[in-house]
Amino acid sequence: MHSGIYTDAAPLLIAAAWTSAALILIGLWTPIAAGVAAVTEAAGALAAAPDFLAHMLVTVIAASLVLLGPGAWSIDAHLYGRKRVI
C-alpha cells in the first residue's frame, strides 16, 4: 500500500474524475471539465500507479480536449454558440 497525498485525497480525486467525466460526456463546461480530468489523471500517473501509461494517455487526451473545446452537438455549443476556427 502506498502512503502519501494520493491515498489521502483519493476520494476527492475520484469524485472530481467522475464529475468531470459526466460533464464531458454531456458536453457541458467542456474545457473546464477536461482541465479537471487532465489534472486528476496526471495526479494518478504521478502517484506511482501501475498503469502509468494509461493515465498519461488520458491526460494527453483531456489536455487536447481543453484546447479543442466542445463539439457541434454539445450543450456548450447550443448555449454559447458554435465557434469555428478558420
Is the pLDDT confidence value at 56 over 60? yes
Which residues, at least 6 apart from 58, have a Cβ–Cβ distance to it below 8 Å?
37, 41
Could you read off the pLDDT of 6-21 as tens digits, one per residue? 556 688 888 999 999 9
Helices (H), the chain: 5-8, 10-26, 30-46, 52-68, 75-80
pLDDT exceeding 70 applies to what percent of the chain?
Answer: 86
Q: What are 34's three cell numbers?
A: 477536461
Look at 7 and 33; give whichever has higher pLDDT: 33
- Residue reference for cell 469524485: 15
Look at 73 and 4; give whichever has higher pLDDT: 73
* Distance of alpha carbon 33 from alpha carbon 12, whole angstroms: 15
